[in-house]
Amino acid sequence: MSARSSSGSLTRRGFVTRAGATGLTAAASPIGLLARDAKAAPPDGTPEQIHLTYGDDPSSSMFVSWACAAQAVNPRVIVHGATAGQTVFHAVQRTYTDGLNGQTVFTYHAKLDGLEPGAALRYSVTADNDRNRALPFTAAFQTAPRGRAPFRWTSYGDLATPVTSWVLSSPQSRYAVQAVERFQPLFHLLNGDLCYANLNPAAQPAVWADFGNNVQVSAAHRPWMPCPGNHEIEFGNGVQGFNSYLTRFSLPSNGTAFPGLWYRFRIGSALFISLSADDVIYQDSGAFVAGPEPLRPVASTGNAPIEPGTSLYVHGYSKGAQTRWLEQTLSAASKDDGIDWIIVQMHQDALSSSENGNGSDKGLREAWLPLFDRFGVDLVLCGHDHDYERSWPVRGCNRHVGRDATTGVPVDTCQPRPVITAEPPDGYFDTTSGTIHLILGGGGTSAPLDAYGVDPASGMPQAKVITKPNRPIPGAAAGTFTKPGADALEAAIWSARRDTDTGYGIAVFDLDPGAAHGKTSITIRYYHAAGADRLPTAEYQLFETLVLAKQRRDARPRTTK
Ligand SMILES: [Fe+2]
Ligand SMILES: [Fe+2]
């Protein structure tokens, strides 16, 4: 294709460099320079999969990102002024060629900066070879407020796509996107396992495209802030397999050698920290060839067949860089009197008692929960197990109280210790004394996991715990491989609420900054899609409400806006 030939070409327009593992080239050259055959139809640069993400400062910057079927010519975003005038922001191109099917994916990223806080802005996305150039895609978004202000966000993970021919996709995925729009949040947190492209190895880019076009219904109007999950790990797409994810999303910088995999952003009195849990978990759940046949990339990739029993296990990939960054970030936040709340987003679960899902991972308990304790993280939002589970606030852990799932011998699972085990008398959870974990894995997959462990002896909640790597082992059939499940069990004394009706839902968070010397609160409402385990539904009903409340950390007089 002519489009490929221009990779690395310079442009007459602004060229923004960006470090990273993914392919970055300049914005496309003029179409006349690309076309080898003047009679050929021009490549289609019509924007699709349009989505927003925050830059480093959500009150003044926003990325607009999208993809095209072919290379876009002069890709750009036009921001329409409130009165008159337009501002044009040129986009940079980032590409990758899928390591399994050889498809080259063209993505575009325009960084809109210098924006006013709390402003509503209309924008258009186009290119010289946009089929809709006369009437380009246009939407509006709102920048985050600056300073203490109320705002709403929503969250879930494990979304998949509505195209049911893809593994793990379900019509519920479309309803889940509509649910975000129903609640009109300032932004949405998407907690990993975005579309399960790695379970459809011959067509990974097509799965991503269906995902991108599904979420555009919401993500073109408000930022969707993702974290990577195990199903973002793809064979042939980078050392850790995250190249597709990283090519498609522009995210706040983290100043490390791993841009885009973890980041933070602040809105008002809340600091949001997004993590890449595959770096510290024990579980092996990335791309995997079960056999008996090898996975054969198409010849154009030049990649060798991937033998049965191969898994892309990335535990420890940052060599501690992520945990050091996390500690520095939390330490700085703990000294900032303008930050009342610290919310962590990550995919895998430190506290999950799903019976038919993955369970809890001790790697998280060892690497990050002590930091959450030390610096007072209020909330941890996850996915991975496709259900809803809420923990009591937890601090510290009980040692040597688990047991091996097979032999029954004692195992140290680092069982998280709840600071309360009943609803607080005044109805308000004080997260200064413990961190609440929420599993919000009910985006829209075809595989709900809302059966939960119960100790047959006591009738009390019981959790599976992964305390060591579950690398592939030979399967029952010749030439096949499988991965063992969790190796340990523990009493889930930290489990406060489990939704046994459905695996699907959306959490809605309303932050009230409160007044100086007073309390600030976050009201959490979890809406679930009752009956969706059996039949996809657009109906989301309130399942439970809880309110977190604590003293504000500032002592300044209240400022009014
Ligand atoms: Fe998942
Ligand atoms: Fe997952």
384: CA distance to ligand 1 center in Å? 4
In the predicted structure, residue 23 carries a pLDDT above the cut 80: no
How far is the centre of ligand 2, averaged over its atoms, from the C-alpha of 219 (Å)?
21
Whole-angstrom distance, CA of residue 445 vs CA of residue 194: 10
Q: Using a cut of 0.95, tell me whether the model's pTM lies above it.
A: no
Q: Please determine, for residue 28, whether its predicted confidence score (pLDDT) is greater than 50.
A: no
The band of 555, judged by pLDDT with boundaries at 50, 70 and 90, is: low
Neighbours of 324 (CB within 10 A): 12
Distance 193 CA to ligand 2 centre (A): 5
Strand order of the β-sheet with 360-361 is 360-361, 462-466, 488-491, 402-404, 410-411
| Mean pLDDT, range 414-429, rounded to an integer | 96
Read off the pLDDT band of 83 (50, 70, 90): low
Q: Which residues pair with 29 in a beta bridge?
A: none
Confidence of residue 42 (pLDDT cuts 50, 70, 90): confident
Q: Which ligand is nearest to the CA of 173?
A: 1
- Which ligand does the CA of 229 lie closest to? 2
Q: How far is the CA of 469 from the centre of ligand 2 (A)?
A: 16
- 403 CA to centre of ligand 1 in angstroms: 26
Number of H helices, E strands in the chain: 8, 32
What is the chain's length? 561
Centroid of ligand 1 to alpha carbon of 280 (angstroms): 17
Task: Give the pairing of strands 462-466 and 488-491.
Answer: antiparallel
In DSSP notation, 159-170 reads ---S-TTSTT--
Half-sphere exposure of 30 (CA within 13 A, CB side): 4
Token pair for 245: 């994810």
Q: What is the tens place of the pLDDT at every residue in 294-346?
A: 999 999 999 999 999 999 999 999 999 999 999 999 999 999 999 999 999 99
Closest ligand by atom to 286 CA: 2
Q: Kindly tell me if the per-residue pLDDT of 219 is higher than 60.
A: yes
Q: Which residues surround ligand 2, an ion (CB under 5 A)?
A: 193, 229-230, 384
Mean pLDDT for the chain overall: 92
Separation of CA 444 and ligand 1 centre (Å): 9
**Cα dihedral 221→233→17→117 (10° resolution):** 30
- Distance in Å, CA 194 to ligand 1 centroid: 8
Ligand nearest to the CA of 386: 1
Measured over the CA atoms of residue 27, residue 253, residue 138 and residue 164, the dihedral's sign is: positive
Distance 498 CA to ligand 2 centre (A): 18
Taking the C-alpha atoms of residue 450 and residue 429, their distance in angstroms, rounded to an integer, is 25
pLDDT tens-digit map of 503-526: 999 999 999 999 988 999 999 999
Higher pLDDT, 37 or 438: 438
Q: What is the mean pLDDT of residues 262-290?
A: 98
Q: Is the pLDDT assigned to residue 167 strictly greater than 80?
A: yes
Angle at 123 (CA atoms; ends 120, 128), nearest 5 degrees: 170
360-361/462-466 β-pairing? parallel
Ligand minimally distant from the alpha carbon of residue 444: 1
Give the whole-angstrom CA distance, residue 302 versus residue 254: 33
CA neighbor of 109 nearest in space, from 230, 17, 184, 238: 17
Please tell me the number of the ligand nearest to residue 231's CA.
2
SS3 287: coil
